[in-house]
Amino acid sequence: MAKAKKSVAKKPVAKRPAAKKAVAKKAVAKKAVAKKAAAKKAVARRPHIPEVQAPEAPIATPTTATNYIALVLDRSGSMSRIRAKVVASCNEQLASVRANAASTGQPSYASVFTFESHVDPPLFFGRAAEKLVDLESKDVRLGGATALLDGVGTAITHLKSLPGAEGPSAEHVSYLVVTITDGFENASNTYKKNFATMLADCQRTGRWSFVFMCPKAGVKTLVRFGVPAGNIMPWQPNNKGAEQLGKQVAEGLQQYYEQRASGQKATTKFFVTDVASVDRKALTEKLVDLSDQFARFAVKSSDVIRPFVESALKKNKDLSKRFGSAYQKGHAYYELTKAETVQAAKSLLIVDRSTNKIYGGDQARALLGLPIGESCKVKPGDHGDYAIFVESTSVNRRLESNTTLLYRA
């Protein structure tokens, strides 16, 4: 009987060199495709920076105080629930630019930039103040992340292209960049690395002002970038907060134009009362000297306004004869020492500490950058040689220690 043949396992046949090359070539091609796809995806994510364009109409070389103002608006997806209110706020600011440019005679040109994950071409660039019109909700499409630094950097680059950035006419030109965001940086690429240097170089000229409205959590970061704390306004990104934005910036714009009229070229206190650098001649020409109508009382320790005034009057026969001995509501003016809301009907006084003269009238509000006929938030700032006093219509207001009270006949 024949023996069965043993099964012999076949040894794997080594791949031929040509087969190895084909596999390697396929792997390389696969990697190349993956790399190309990744690069394409990265480009898609990279914020687009629009090229600088010419202003809507030629701008003459500045020969007098001229303002270039940019509004930089966050249009990321998180703004969707408050878009209408934010657009209304922007329109209030544009109206303020138009009105202040006309009342002060300062040539002004406005631009509006929007951004999300990328920066859009400006809605308009270098438009003369008198030609400004309202934005519409459809102008501000929403979506994407927050390329905040690229948005501001783009505005700076564009504004620098306008006439008067350099040369003899530069002394007449000032720049104001107002930015509204409901979040903070998470998508910038182009200007992120050099943003702090960019701001510092602009501010070093003494002609650039940067103003931000952002959530409270972003304030410290902006200060670290070099933005003056007085130019930052924390806000709540809701409808109520958006409503307040327009008024707060409009008040700041009015003060900015008053400061420009007095010779200032930039501000570090956009959101606070600031009369430290007001020209004394402008003060005396615009306001009424009311010094002879008031008595001054030193408030050494905290006290309630009515008993304090009545006690001071009774101690001085001459004053009692002139002012009476009973406290009259609306006749007392307390010194502004902390942030508070000043009602529309209340008048303000400015006291020149160097001369002790007391100035008042509607223009006192205008000089402080506050709206006439409207209630507004007032935050003490740098008053220099001046003190600010607010009319009291209360009988039980508590006066602050080490302040002065003014009382009129």
Inform me whether the pLDDT recorded for 13 exceeds 60. no
Q: How many residues does the chain have?
A: 409
Q: Which residues contact 30 (CB under 8 A, 6 or more apart)?
A: none
Inform me whether the pLDDT recorded for 7 exceeds 80. no
> What average pLDDT does the segment 101-115 reach?
96
Residue 195 CA to residue 78 CA, distance in Å, equals 24
User: Tokens 């495709």 sit at which residue?
Assistant: 33
Q: Which amino acid is at 95?
A: A
DSSP 198: H
Inform me whether the pLDDT recorded for 246 exceeds 70. yes
- pLDDT attached to residue 37: 56
pTM for the whole structure: 0.67
CATH of domain 66-261: 3.40.50.410
pLDDT confidence of 44, banded at 50, 70, 90?
very low
Contact 273, 256 (CB under 8 A): no
Contact 137, 73 (CB under 8 A): no
DSSP 385: T
Inform me whether the pLDDT recorded for 272 exceeds 90. no
Beta strand spans in 190-263 (E): 208-214, 232-234
- pLDDT attached to residue 363: 74
Inform me whether the pLDDT recorded for 104 exceeds 80. yes
CB atoms under 10 Å from CB of 15, counted, come to: 11
Inform me whether the pLDDT recorded for 40 exceeds 60. no
Residue ranges per structural domain of the chain: 66-261, 280-408
> What average pLDDT does the segment 287-310 reach?
94
- pLDDT attached to residue 8: 55
> How open is the CA angle 174-175-181, to the nearest 5 degrees?
155
Inform me whether the pLDDT recorded for 19 exceeds 90. no
Q: Between the CA of residue 275 and those of 253, 361, 377, 382, what are the distances in Å?
A: 15, 16, 16, 7
Residue 249 CA to residue 271 CA, distance in Å, equals 8
When mean pLDDT is compared across 39-48, 72-81, 144-153, 270-279, the lowest value belongs to 39-48
Closest alpha carbon to 112 in 179, 61, 33: 179
Better-scored residue on pLDDT, 374 or 155: 155
Tens of pLDDT, residue by residue over 181-240, are: 999 899 999 999 999 999 999 999 999 999 999 998 999 999 999 999 889 988 988 888
When mean pLDDT is compared across 52-56, 121-125, 252-256, 282-286, the lowest value belongs to 282-286
- pLDDT attached to residue 43: 39
Q: What's the alpha-carbon Rg for the chain, to the nearest Å?
A: 31
Which of the residue ranges 134-138, 283-287, 382-386 has the most confident prediction, judged by mean pLDDT?
Answer: 134-138
pLDDT confidence of 268, banded at 50, 70, 90?
confident
SS3 308: helix
User: Tokens 């905290």 sit at which residue?
Assistant: 302
User: Tokens 């615009």 sit at which residue?
Assistant: 286
Q: Which amino acid is at 55?
A: P
Q: Between the CA of residue 3 and those of 6, 8, what are the distances in Å?
A: 9, 15
What percentage of the chain has pLDDT greater than the value 90? 61
- pLDDT attached to residue 200: 97
State the chain's mean pLDDT as an integer.
87
Tens of pLDDT, residue by residue over 330-356, are: 999 999 988 777 887 888 999 998 899
pLDDT confidence of 42, banded at 50, 70, 90?
very low
